[in-house]
Amino acid sequence: MPQQFINNFRTVLTAGCTDSATQIQINTTEAAKLASATPTNFYKITLAKDGGGQVEVVKVIGRTGAILTVERGSEDINGAATPTYAWVTGDLVEARITAQSMQDALTGGGSGATQLSELSDVASPLSPTDGQALVYNDTSGEWEPGTAGGGGAGFDPDTILTADGQVLVGSDGNVLVQE
């Protein structure tokens, strides 16, 4: 999942930064709440002046201690590119719902992938043959071409099938894949 969300995240900068800085510093306890941030598994936070005015949306793509690695100007505001600002100690750092985040959630956006080869958890190169499906390989942590198990006459829909991963088919016919 590309964008992560966190409820009620609010802190302040513990050090100022320039308008081109790619790292910002916040309280260590609050920073630890964003521990799993990566370029493909990120948070969006808003930097703001307490009295209003300046606002900047940044993408948190990493964390070391109290230092957050960020991409600046990561979202348009009212159709214009987000300006970047210099910030001072005490300026607000908050997780806010943004228009782009909502649009991505509604349209399934986020990764922007339009082909299997663009997904990070699908084996590459991908060379399937007729009759194959993508099956999950628990050892490699990737989806790979393979033979899907199950099906046919006398199939028990409550059976767990394995094909180097697990597939659970419920009695309602819905298939759930364990990742």
Greater confidence (59 vs 34) lies with 59
Residue 171 included in any domain: yes
Where is average pLDDT lowest: 30-34, 58-62, 112-116, 121-125?
112-116
Residue 162's pLDDT is what? Answer: 44
Residue 117 included in any domain: no
Identify whether residues 43 and 102 lie together within a single domain: yes
Residue 120 included in any domain: no
Residue 74 included in any domain: yes
- For residue 61, pLDDT beyond 90: yes
Greater confidence (74 vs 72) lies with 72
Q: State how far the Cα of 8 lies from the Cα of 119, in Å rounded to an integer.
A: 31
Identify whether residues 17 and 91 lie together within a single domain: yes
Say if CB 42 and CB 4 are below 8 A apart.
Answer: yes
Strands 160-162 and 55-64, how do they pair? unpaired
Per-residue pLDDT reduced to its tens digit, 110-126: 555 666 666 667 776 66
pTM over 0.75: no
- For residue 104, pLDDT beyond 80: no
Identify whether residues 50 and 90 lie together within a single domain: yes
- For residue 101, pLDDT beyond 70: yes
Identify whether residues 14 and 89 lie together within a single domain: yes
Identify whether residues 56 and 88 lie together within a single domain: yes
Identify whether residues 88 and 146 lie together within a single domain: no
Considering 19-28, 81-90, 139-148, the range whose residues carry the highest mean pLDDT is 19-28
Confidence of residue 67 (pLDDT cuts 50, 70, 90): very high
Confidence of residue 17 (pLDDT cuts 50, 70, 90): very high
Residue 123 included in any domain: no
Domain count, the chain: 2
